Chains A and B, each alone.
Chain A
Amino acid sequence: MDFYIIGLTALLGLYMAWNIGANDVANSMADAVGSNAISIRNGVIAAGICEFAGAVLVGAQVTNTVRKGIVDPAVLMAMPGISHQEAAIILVIGMSAALLSAAFWLHFSTMYGMPVSTTHSIVGAVAGFGVVAAGWHAVNWAKMGQIVASWFISPVAGGMMAFLLFKYISGAILGNDRPARAAIFHIPFITFLLTATVLLATIYKGLKHVIKNIEWLTDSRALTLSLATSLLAAVGSYFVARKKLAGRDDDPLGEQLEAVERMFVPMVVISSCSVAFAHGANDVANSVGPLAAIVHVLKTSTIDMKVPVPLWILALGGGGIVLGLATYGYKVMMTVGTKITEITPSRGVAADIAATATVLACTRLSLPVSTTHTLVGAILGIGLARGLGGINRRIVTSIFGSWLFTVPAAALMSVVFFVVGRFFFFDTLRQVINP
C-alpha cells in the first residue's frame, strides 16, 4: 500500500517536473539560443545536462524549504487533539493536494498562454493547504515573508546586476576606440566572474548530500578551489581571446565589434548553461518538495524532517525536467530561437551572469524564486543600460499581473483538493501510516 501511494505521488511529482521542463527551460537557454550562439538541438542537450546537474547537486536546500519550511510539520504535530498519526496523514494528503493543484494550474495556464511561475504556484498551494489543515499558525509566516520578499528582490537584483555588468561591458569593451584590444583585456575578468559564481554556489558548504563528507573539502578549501579554478578559466580565456582578436586594431570599428561579439559566443553558451544549472537547482523543488515530505512521512511514519532530502528524489525531479525538455521543450526552444532577434551574445552574457548569481544566491539561502522572472529583470536591466533596441512593456505588465493572480489561485485550488482528499482518503491512510 505504501508503495502505491509513493508511486502515485512520484508520478505527480514527475508530471510537475515535466511541466517545468516543457515550459521553463527554454527561457533559461533563451540568451544562447536567441543570439544564435548554439543550435536548438545542442541547446536542448546542454540544457538537459545542466538542469539535471543543478537539481542533483544544489537542489536540496530549496527542496527542504518546500518540504518543511513553509508548512512546519512540528506545528501540525503540536496541535491540540491531533495524534501523531493524524498529523502525518494530513501532511500526506495536503502535500499531494498542493502538488496536484500546482501541476493543474500550470497545465491550465499553459493551455491559455498565460505566463505563470511554477515557483509561485507551488508555494501558494502549500501555504493554502497549511492554513486550512491546521490553521493560521501552521504556516511559517516569517519564512513566507522572506520568500515573497525574494520574489520582488530577485528580479530587481538581477536587473541591477545586469545593468552594472552591461555598463561595464559596453563601457570597457564595446565603447572603446579599439574594442578588439579591449576585449582581450577584459574578457578574462568576465570569465572569472562567471566561473566563480557557478562554482562557489555549487561547492561552498555544498555537496554534502551527494558526496558524503569529503574530509578535505572544508569551507575555506572550497573557496580556494573555486577561486583557483576560476582563475585558471580566466587565464585560458585570455589566450583564446588573444588568438582570435589580436592584430585587429586597424580594422573598421564595425568589424571589430563583430569580432568581439563572436568572442562572446562561447561565453554566452556557457553562461546560459549556468542559468539552466541555477534553474534546475531552484526549480526542482517545485516538483519534488512535496514528494519528499510525503515519502518521508510514509517511510518513517514521523513528521520529524531532520533527515536530508534523499538523492533519488532529486534525481527523479531532474529526470522529469529533462524529459519535459526533450519531449515538449524542444518546440518551445524553436520559438525562442526564431523570435528573438534582439539579443546579442554580449547582452546575453550580462543577463545570464546576473540571473545565475541571483538565483544561485537565493538557492543557497533556501529561497524558492522564479528563475524566469529573474531573467526578465536582468533583461530589463540591460534595456535600461541602452543595450537593447526595444522591450515590449506589455509583457512586463502582464508578468506583474500574473504575480498577483497565481498565488491565491493555486492556494484556492490546493484547498479544494485538500478538503476533498481529506474527506475521501483520511481513513484509508490511517491503515497505512502507523505511529
Chain B
Amino acid sequence: MRTLIADLFGKSPFGPIVEHSKKVHECVELLWPLMEALVAEEYEKIRKLHSKMSRLEHEADLIKHEIRSFISRRYFLPVDRSDLVNFLARQEKIADLAEDFAVVLTLRDTRVHPSIHDLFFSYLHQVFQVSGTLLTAAVEFKNLAEAAFAGAEAESVLHLIENLGEEEWKTDKLSRKLSRAVYALEGEVELLNILFYEKMVIMLGSIANQAENAGDYLRVMIEKR
C-alpha cells in the first residue's frame, strides 16, 4: 500500500490544455508580422517567419500528443473524454491553418494592392479577437477545474464562449466586405493576384471558424457530465 494514494491520482490534463492553447495562440499572433512583411514585400522575411511558425506548430502538436497519451480510456476524468479530444483537435487545426497560411505566402511573391491593405489588417485584427477570446476561455479552464465545473466560474466561461460566437460572426461580416473589395479590383490587378487574395481571406476565415468550433466543445465539456 506504499504509495497507493499517490498512485491513485492520474495526471490532470488541465494544465497542459492551457499550455496548448497558449502555443496555438502564439502561432496565430505570428500572422501579423507575416502580413506586415507581405505588404512591405519583404519576401525573405516571410520565409523566416514561416520556419518559426512551423516550429511553433510542431511544439503544439507535441503538447497535444502528450495530453492524449495520458488520457487513455482508463482515466476517470471530470469531463467527457471524447469531447476533450475533439476540443484539442479543433484547437490544433487553428495552428495548422496558421501554418498553411504562412506556407501559401511563401509559394508566390505576391504584391498586395494598397487599397485593401487596411481592410486586410482590420480583418486580421478581428480574427485575433476570436482567437484571443478562445485563449482566455481555455485559460479560465484552470479556475474551472478548481471550482469543479459549476457555479459562477462556469457561468463566466460560458459567457466568454458566447462572446466567441459573436466575434466570429463579426469576422464573417468583415470577410464578406473584404472579398467584395478584392473582386472590385477586377481589371486593375492580375487575375492570379485576385485569386491569391481570396485564398488568404478564406484561410483566415477558417481560423476563426475553428476557434468557434473549439469553443463549442468547451461548452459541451462544461455542461455535460
Residues of A within 8 A of B10 (CB): 342, 389-392
User: Provided the pairs A170-B148, A175-B152 are in contact, do residues A390 and B9 lie with their beta carbons within 8 angstroms?
Assistant: yes
B7 touches A392 (CB 8 A): yes
A342 touches B9 (CB 8 A): yes
Residues of A within 8 A of B149 (CB): 386
Report A103 CB to chain B, min CB distance, Å. 14
User: Provided the pairs A23-B2, A335-B3, A399-B4 are in contact, do residues A392 and B154 lie with their beta carbons within 8 angstroms?
Assistant: no
For residue A249, CB closer than 8 A to chain B, the reply is no
| Interface residue ranges, A against B (CB under 8 Å) | 23-24, 26-27, 30, 34, 110, 113, 115-118, 166, 170-171, 174-179, 253-254, 257, 261, 332, 335-336, 339-344, 372, 375-376, 379-380, 383, 385-396, 399
User: Provided the pairs A389-B12, A389-B13, A390-B71 are in contact, do residues A383 and B147 lie with their beta carbons within 8 angstroms?
Assistant: no
The segment out of B35-43, B58-66, B73-81 that lies at the interface is: B73-81
B74 touches A394 (CB 8 A): yes
Residues of B within 8 A of A335 (CB): 2-3, 6
A27 touches B78 (CB 8 A): no
B78 touches A386 (CB 8 A): yes
Report A84 CB to chain B, min CB distance, Å. 40
CA distance A399 to B1 in the complex (A): 9
Could you list 6 further interchain pairs (A-B, Cβ under 8 angstroms) beyond the known A117-B1, A386-B78? A27-B1, A179-B152, A385-B148, A386-B225, A390-B9, A392-B8
For residue B151, CB closer than 8 A to chain A, the reply is yes
Report B171 CB to chain A, min CB distance, Å. 28
8 A-B pairs with C-beta separation under 8 A: A118-B1, A170-B151, A253-B152, A342-B12, A387-B148, A388-B9, A389-B14, A396-B8
Identify which of residues 150-168 in chain B touch chain A, using a CB-to-CB cut-off of 8 Å: 150-154, 156
For residue B192, CB closer than 8 A to chain A, the reply is no
Residues of A within 8 A of B74 (CB): 392-394
Closest residue on chain B to residue A351 by CB atoms: B5
CA distance A383 to B5 in the complex (A): 13
Q: Which of A253, A332, A344 contacts B3 (CB 8 A)?
A: A332
Report B201 CB to chain A, min CB distance, Å. 37
CA distance A340 to B12 in the complex (A): 11
Closest residue on chain A to residue B71 by CB atoms: A390
| Interface residue ranges, B against A (CB under 8 Å) | 1-14, 70-71, 74-79, 142-143, 145-154, 156, 225
CA distance A365 to B154 in the complex (A): 42
Closest residue on chain A to residue B11 by CB atoms: A390
Q: Which of A113, A343, A344, A375 contacts B146 (CB 8 A)?
A: A344
Query: Interface SS of chain A: helix, strand, loop or mixed?
Result: helix
B2 touches A332 (CB 8 A): yes
CA distance A219 to B151 in the complex (A): 42
CA distance A155 to B150 in the complex (A): 26
CA distance A195 to B6 in the complex (A): 26
Residues of A within 8 A of B148 (CB): 166, 170, 174-175, 385-387
Q: Which of A110, A257, A390 contacts B12 (CB 8 A)?
A: A390
Report A435 CB to chain B, min CB distance, Å. 42
User: Provided the pairs A253-B156, A257-B147 are in contact, do residues A390 and B13 lie with their beta carbons within 8 angstroms?
Assistant: yes
B78 touches A372 (CB 8 A): no
Residues of B within 8 A of A379 (CB): 5, 8-9
B5 touches A24 (CB 8 A): no
CA distance A393 to B76 in the complex (A): 6
CA distance A372 to B75 in the complex (A): 20
CA distance A178 to B152 in the complex (A): 8
Residues of A within 8 A of B3 (CB): 26, 332, 335-336, 339
CA distance A176 to B154 in the complex (A): 10
CA distance A51 to B151 in the complex (A): 38
Report A344 CB to chain B, min CB distance, Å. 7
Report B56 CB to chain A, min CB distance, Å. 26
Q: Which of B6, B14, B151 contacts A34 (CB 8 A)?
A: B6
